[in-house]
Amino acid sequence: MTPDAALDHLAFFVGLRLMGPDARRRLRITLLRHKDVAVTAHGPVERLERLDALLGGRQAPETLQDRLDVALAQRERTADPFDACFWLARSAELVTSGFSAPQAAQIIEEVRARVAPGDGAIPAHEMEEESHAG
């Protein structure tokens, strides 16, 4: 991946996280149902639609799987969208695309400062140490 593509990739993933889990699920349903998307199996779409109905209160949970899916979705709704793993993965992608570890850490810190101030993720210098260790 080129450095420009890595920056686009970073922006895309940050945007997806900013959408929130409910909007991401509805986007996936829309894309999977679109006529130009070649999907042979409709299982994932139907499961996402069922989950959307369960979360929206249009359908009551009937099975253990329904209750587990709802519990996981509720946990995702309350979780911090920008956890330490998210930022470490984005930093690693930048490094593998040609940025130095300090450059990647600086980019990540600048993005974090704009989208998630005080998110409790690990500091840039720790990301830099982590990227050198891996």
Numbers of helices and strands, H then E, in the chain? 7, 0
CA 97, CA 81: separation in Å to the nearest integer?
24
| Tokens found for residue 41 | 């199996």
Q: Can you give the pLDDT at residue 28?
A: 87
CA 19, CA 97: separation in Å to the nearest integer?
26
pTM for the whole thing?
0.70
Q: What is the pLDDT along the chain (134 residues), one digit of tens a residue?
A: 899 999 999 999 999 999 999 999 999 888 888 877 766 555 688 888 999 999 999 999 999 999 999 999 999 999 988 989 999 999 999 999 999 999 999 999 999 999 965 544 444 444 444 444 44
CA 79, CA 74: separation in Å to the nearest integer?
9
